[in-house]
Structure 1
Amino acid sequence: GAFIATTVIGYLVVVLAVTLAVVPLVWDVSRKLIWSLRHFVTWTLIAPFIITQIQSQIFRRCLFGKNFIMHRPLASIYMFWQTWLSFLSGLMTSIIRLGMALAGVVVSLPQLMAPCTPAFMNQVVCLDSTYKQYIACVVVYHLHNQPVASVAAQRLLALLQERKRRMK
């Protein structure tokens, strides 16, 4: 199950990457859309990156020497600020990872052809509850709709009715 999921996701990522790379070159509508959003992309993605790099270089040159700190109070404020920003970006990264993990779980839930747990574990106990429920439904359906069992059950019910009629 995991190998199949990894292969499918890898295939989808390759297809998505190639599509995103080729479509703007081939399709005029996407090229015009990207060109119309150039100011948005510049001011929301590129400009903050450049400003952050310049700001970081300026602060490092003004606050730190080669092997000493020039302005200790300002350096501590700068380090706290960088730590705080790292904490916030790490928090957002973890939230995004949680969302991606939940999306992966939701996508893999309807896997019914085999349990998604490892095969060696399935020999001991089947841990995939959705697969167990699916198999239980299949077994119940086939048991109740099996022709021989169905005819036998109808015949037994008829015999029961006949016995009840005779007992009266």
Structure 2
Amino acid sequence: MPTLFGLPVGWAAIFGLFQIVLGGGVLASWIKNRPKMREIERNAETKLRDDLIARVERLETRVEETRSFYERKIERLQADYEAAQRIARHELANAKMRFRALIMLLKRLPDPPDGLAMILIDIENMELEQAKNEALEKGVVSAAKITSVAPVT
């Protein structure tokens, strides 16, 4: 006969002890319901995964729409900027032409004031220096554009 803590115990007592410790049919119901609980857990995980996938897809769609919106906005801003640049260049060219015409008229004055010839020579020299500096700057800008273009991979 088995003993528990030195006392003789029968099989009925052992099963009774198991019943008390395990709360009656808790073990049996746990074993019986375990497949259903696993199925519920799997269904919950599947639903969570599907919900997360749907949410990510919605976010990706919104990101793409936002990116597309801002790309169009940037293109419009670039077009506006380029148009404003063209107008400014045209206005500057006109101002330069009017300035040169004024210099030409001042050179042809029949009775020029004293020192005007030297002033006009200085102005012409300054204009030549400015044209040279502008040409150098254009070269630097063009070189920067060429070197900044990286191949798209």
Q: TM class, shorter-chain normalised? A: 0.3 to 0.5
Higher relative contact order (CA 8 A, sep 6+): 1
Query: How does the TM-score come out when normalised to structure 1?
Result: 0.32
Larger Rg: 2
